[in-house]
Chains A and B, each alone.
Chain A
Amino acid sequence: MECQPIIEVKDLYVNFYTYAGIVKAIDGVSFKICRGETYCLVGETGCGKSVTARSLTRLVPPPGRIEKGVILYYPEPGGKPINIMELSEEELRKIRGSEISYVFQDPNTSLDPLYTIGYQIAETMHAHGTVASIKEGIRKAVHILKMVLMPDPETRVKNYPHELSGGMKQRAVIGTSLSNNPKLLIADEPTTALDATVQDQIMDLLRKLRRDRNLTILLITHNMGLVAEMCDRVAVMYAGRIVEEADVYELFNNPLHPYTKALLRAVPNPLKRVEKLESIPGTVPNLIYPPPGCRFHPRCPMVMEICREKRPPEINVKPGHRVACWLYAEKRGE
Chain B
Amino acid sequence: MANLRRFIIRRLITFIPTLIGVTFIVFIIAAVIPANPARVWAGGQKASPQVIKKLEEEYHLKGNLLERYYWLIYKLFTNQIVSPRTHHYVWEDLAYRFPVTLQLTIIAFIYILLLGIPLGIVAALKRDSWIDTTIRILALIGVSTPVFWLAYLLIFLFFTQLHWITLAGTPVPPYSITGVPLIDALLKLDFKTLGQILSRYSLPGFILGFMGIGVTARIVRNSFLDAMSADFVEYAKARGLKKLRIYRHVLRNALVPVVTVLGLMFGGLLGGAPITERIFGLPGIGNYMLQSIYQYDYLALTGAVFFIALIYLTANLVVDILYAFIDPRVRY
Contact = CB atoms under 8 A, between A and B. Distances in A.
A97 B238 contact: yes
A93 B232 contact: no
Interface string B215-255: 00000000000000011101111111110010001001100
B239 A177 contact: yes
A128 B237 CA distance: 13
B241 A123 contact: yes
A55 to B, nearest CB: 13
B327 interface: yes
Given A104-B235, A110-B232, A112-B253, A127 B328 contact: no
Contacts of B240: 93-98, 124, 127-128
B329 A113 contact: yes
A68 interface: no
Contacts of B237: 59, 96
A114 B238 contact: no
Contacts of A97: 238-241
Contacts of A95: 240
A176 B239 contact: yes
Interface in B259-280: none
Query: By DSSP majority rule, is chain B's interface helix, strand, loop, or mixed?
Result: helix
Contact of B328 (A93, A96, A114): A114
Contacts of B236: 112
A123 B245 contact: yes
A231 to B, nearest CB: 22
A95 B240 CA distance: 7
Contacts, number: 74
A101 B230 CA distance: 19
B249 A162 contact: no
Contacts of B239: 96-97, 101-102, 124, 127, 176-177
Contacts of B235: 102, 104, 110-111, 173
Nearest to B253: A114
Contacts of A176: 239
Contacts of A111: 232, 235
Interface residues of B, number: 21
A109 interface: yes
Given A114-B252, A162-B328, A109 B232 contact: yes
A206 to B, nearest CB: 17
Contacts of A106: 231
A61 interface: yes
Contacts of B234: 59, 61, 104
Contact of B232 (A112, A127, A128): A112
Given A114-B253, A162-B328, A102 B232 contact: no
Nearest to A99: B240
B231 A127 contact: no
Interface in A207-250: none
Contacts of A104: 231, 234-235, 238
Interface in A137-175: 160, 162, 173
A162 B329 contact: yes
B238 A113 contact: no
A190 B232 CA distance: 15
Contacts of A160: 328-329
A162 to B, nearest CB: 5
A123 B235 CA distance: 13
A260 interface: no
A57 interface: yes
30 contacts: A57-B238, A59-B234, A59-B238, A61-B234, A93-B241, A94-B240, A95-B240, A96-B240, A97-B238, A97-B241, A102-B235, A106-B231, A109-B230, A109-B231, A109-B232, A110-B231, A111-B232, A111-B235, A112-B236, A112-B252, A113-B253, A113-B329, A114-B256, A114-B326, A114-B328, A115-B249, A127-B245, A160-B328, A160-B329, A162-B329
Interface of B: 230-232, 234-242, 245, 249, 252-253, 256, 326-329
Given A114-B253, A114-B328, A115-B249, 13 more contacts: A57-B238, A93-B240, A104-B234, A104-B235, A104-B238, A109-B230, A110-B235, A112-B232, A113-B329, A114-B249, A123-B241, A127-B242, A162-B328
Give the top 7 A-B pairs by smallest Cβ distance, nearest first: A97-B240, A109-B231, A96-B240, A97-B239, A102-B238, A160-B328, A110-B235
